[in-house]
Structure 1
Amino acid sequence: MELGLFSVPFFTYFVALILFALRAVCADLSYNIDEETKRQYVIGNIAKDLRMDVKKLSARKARIDSEDSSKRYCDINLNTGEFIVTERIDREELCGSKAPCVLKYDLVLEHPLELHRISVKIEDINDNSPRFPNKLIKLEIGESIGTGARFRLEEAHDADEGQNGIQNYSLEKNEHFSLSVHSNSNGGKYCELVLQKELDREQKKDMDLVLTAIDGGTPVKSGTVKIHVTVLDVNDNVPVCKQRLLRYLHNCHRCN
């Protein structure tokens, strides 16, 4: 008897093969650890999590395979079943700005063949401070600029993510400028100087301010940059002749 293009024996074999494949790939195991966790730290116990006799790990030649074989950050202890950290994990080096940062492994068991997928999510810690792209921000502002004028400043960057990234800015107290902080489209923050009191070059031709970027980690980390403001002159003063100079010129005229 035949069913379409397949004979009954072949169809039965095909179904059995599919069922075997489904049995061979088992439920996933998921773990979370902080980056920079020390070597030999125990992430979990694979034998216990799979409810398996630990002795079967060696008997069935258990091994951990990784999608990326360049560096093995985690491995299994066949004697205890413990899943451990074997290399320092730097989330920023491993994943950059990619989130979430996940390491993926396969636990392979033989006799019979069995496969368990393991994912390890690397949690960010506050191990980086905010940094500005340059050590100095230079601004040139005319003394005729009215109050309320805004000047966008260079944005600081933090390699950490989420709450550990930049949360705010602060400005050193001064009599001329305040600070306005905004969120941009990519979730970062930038700020603007806002002129609160008019500048007068004749009184002060330049000034230095300190801008601080602050993250939201525990403990809080920060980074600073100096802002140098040069006040540009405008022709806002009428020449004034000194009385002594006028008297001198008058006397010279009489002598001639």
Structure 2
Amino acid sequence: MEYKGFSFTASNFFMALFLFLLRTSYGDVTYSFPEEMKRGSVIGNIANDLGLDPKGLYVRKARLEMDGSNTLYCDINLSTGDLIVAERIDREQLCGRRVSCVLKYEMVLENPLELHRVVLQIQDINENSPQFANDRITFEIRESADKGARFVVNQAHDADIGLNAVQSYTLQKNSHFGLAVHTNPGGVKYGELVLEKELDREQQQEVTLLLTAIDGGTPQRSGTAVIHVTVLDANDNIPVFSQNLFKVSLPKKILPLAL
């Protein structure tokens, strides 16, 4: 009888606790804003968005808590109810190249206890320019290379994502090469040099070109690299005499050399 009585009491306790938490835990409020906002910038008024009285935030010790991080990038102005930027937010540092960059907080109020989930979506801004691993890209191409031959160019990297990442490449106009731009399965764009006119080492031993990578952000940013092509000799010429006939005249009597 005592065991059954204890079970009943425990069940009621956990049910009461569940109902209590249900009453004091509310739905999410989500804000979306760009990275690199200045400290003190207002993201939104969290008091109004949650239907709270801003005057009661200080008394109820309103605060933000975040699991797994010692840095609270945002804070609450307890006088106005504004959610503000407390620390510089670098999206690339927080989330790398992930498409979605989200910070999750819990807003806690006391007396009575209330918990509100706060989700911050950090938007990418076009703060980075495309960069090649090396400012100088070198090729050695034999002059016997066929027209249409292709040579892959190392892609440019951009810490930004989406449209703010590299969208196109351009090649300086020249007599020998064109540029074909491709997209790999991961969505990264890269270029190929395409030989449009055969090389002739006897006429030109080196070709220097400027390659530009361009992103799609606003403002648009770009990065450049110099392509240096060394034209290698091929055995494409046969020996040729300066004339077809050579005449030599010798004196009739040649004296022997003295020993």
8 Å CA contact 1:2, 1:8 repeated in 2: no
Superposition deviation, residue 165 in structure 1: 0.5
SS where residue 13 of structure 1 aligns? helix
Work out the percentage of aligned pairs sharing the same amino acid: 56
2:116 counterpart residue number:
116
**What are the ranges of 5 or more consecutive residues in structure 1 without an aligned counterpart?**
none
2:257 counterpart residue number:
none
Alpha-carbon distance in structure 2 between the residues aligned to 1:252 and 1:226 = 60
**What are the ranges of 5 or more consecutive residues in structure 2 without an aligned counterpart?**
255-259
2:189 counterpart residue number:
189
8 Å CA contact 1:141, 1:229 repeated in 2: yes
Alpha-carbon distance in structure 2 between the residues aligned to 1:255 and 1:244 = 28
Superposition deviation, residue 69 in structure 1: 3.5
Q: How does 1:1-256 map to 2 (within 5 A)?
A: 7-243=7-243, 246=246, 250-251=248-249
Alpha-carbon distance in structure 2 between the residues aligned to 1:77 and 1:209 = 55
SS where residue 28 of structure 1 aligns? strand
Alpha-carbon distance in structure 1 between the residues aligned to 2:70 and 2:250 = 92
SS where residue 22 of structure 1 aligns? helix
Alpha-carbon distance in structure 2 between the residues aligned to 1:128 and 1:177 = 29
Superposition deviation, residue 137 in structure 1: 0.6
Alpha-carbon distance in structure 1 between the residues aligned to 2:97 and 2:73 = 19
Alpha-carbon distance in structure 2 between the residues aligned to 1:88 and 1:252 = 94
Cα gap change, 1:4/1:251 in structure 2, threshold over 3 Å: closer, same or farther?
Answer: farther
Alpha-carbon distance in structure 2 between the residues aligned to 1:109 and 1:100 = 29
Cα gap change, 1:251/1:112 in structure 2, threshold over 3 Å: closer, same or farther?
Answer: farther
- The amino acid that maps onto 1:218 is T
Cα gap change, 1:35/1:3 in structure 2, threshold over 3 Å: closer, same or farther?
Answer: same
TM-score by length of 1: 0.92
Alpha-carbon distance in structure 2 between the residues aligned to 1:152 and 1:217 = 25
Alpha-carbon distance in structure 1 between the residues aligned to 2:252 and 2:37 = 93
TM-score by length of 2: 0.91
Q: Deviations over 1:171-223 (max 9, x none)?
A: 00011111100001111101100111111000001110111101001121110
Rg comparison, structure with higher value: 2
- The amino acid that maps onto 1:129 is S
Q: Deviations over 1:35-60 (max 9, x none)?
A: 11111111111111111111221121
- The amino acid that maps onto 1:140 is E
- Matched positions, count: 254
